[in-house]
Amino acid sequence: MSAPAPRRPGPPCPRCGRTAPPGGGAFCPWCGRYLAALDWVATTPGGPAAEPAARRDRYTGPPRYRTVPRWGLPVGPWRIAPVPGEGPLRPVDRARALAAQLVPVLWVVVVVSGIAAVAEVWRYVLLLFSRSDALSPEAVGVSDALVWFGGWSSVVATIAAGVLVISWSLWTYRAAADRAGTRAWRSHRWVVAGWVVPGWNLVAPGSLLAETEHTALELPPERRPS
């Protein structure tokens, strides 16, 4: 009869480090820690789910109906309902709005015209220096850039200011007539021609502005505007 095989001691405890006696079970008898070293890894059953490919339908044109559809949106639900008491803008309101745009544009005209003047003066100074010495390419390039920018920007700004001035004078003339309770007797064509026709534009704008001021201040009609 053979002797029984000796039992092996348990694995060392990963918590307290003690070796469990043979036949001690799966738990440490001193700290109660599970003796088997396990690594828990969470995985999705069946692997990651593949995203379904987006299906693109071929465009076949707008929908077609055999009969006229009886459904649809109500007529004009997106239109803003008119506010009671509000109507079209008055001439005085239009004149004020144009004045708010005209003043900055006039300042732009002043600035770019000043730049154009400085550029021309600088070009004349370079012309004087070139009589006795050669000019540097940098100085000539800066002079050309200033002349080009000042010339074209002043032209564009002057045209924009002219359009705003004419529009402003039209609406202020009408606003003054409405304030005085009279009718503006000068037509739009007369006002525009008075600003743009050469020669006539030397006297017409002055008389127009004088009449506008005279009417807006409600001065006596028999008194001549000045």
Question: What does the domain layout of the chain look like in residue ranges?
Answer: 91-186
C-beta separation of 4 from 23 below 8 A: no
Radius of gyration of the chain (CA): 46
pLDDT score at 74: 61
DSSP string, the chain: -PPPPPPPPPPBPTTT-PBPPTT--SB-TTT--B-S--------TTSPPPPPPPP-PPP--S---SS-----PPSSTTSPPPPTT--SPPHHHHHHHHHHHHHHHHHHHHHHHHHHHHHHHHHHHHHHHTTTSPPPHHHHHHHHHHHHHHHHHHHHHHHHHHHHHHHHHHHHHHHHHHHHT----S-HHHHHHHHHSTTGGGTHHHHHHHHHHHHHTT--TTSPP-
Give the integer Cα–Cα distance in Å for 124 and 200: 34
pLDDT score at 58: 79
First to last CA, the chain: 146
C-beta separation of 146 from 115 below 8 A: yes
pLDDT score at 50: 63
C-beta separation of 16 from 31 below 8 A: yes
C-beta separation of 55 from 45 below 8 A: no
pLDDT score at 111: 93
- Rounded to the nearest angstrom, the gap between the alpha carbon of residue 162 and the centroid of all alpha carbons in its chain is 26
The per-residue pLDDT string of the chain (226 residues; one tens digit each, 9 = 90 and over) reads: 555 556 666 667 767 777 777 766 667 777 767 666 655 666 666 666 666 666 777 787 787 778 777 777 665 545 555 555 555 678 888 888 888 888 999 999 999 999 999 989 988 888 888 888 887 888 888 888 888 888 899 999 999 999 999 999 888 888 888 887 777 777 888 888 888 888 888 888 888 888 888 777 777 766 777 6
C-beta separation of 191 from 169 below 8 A: yes
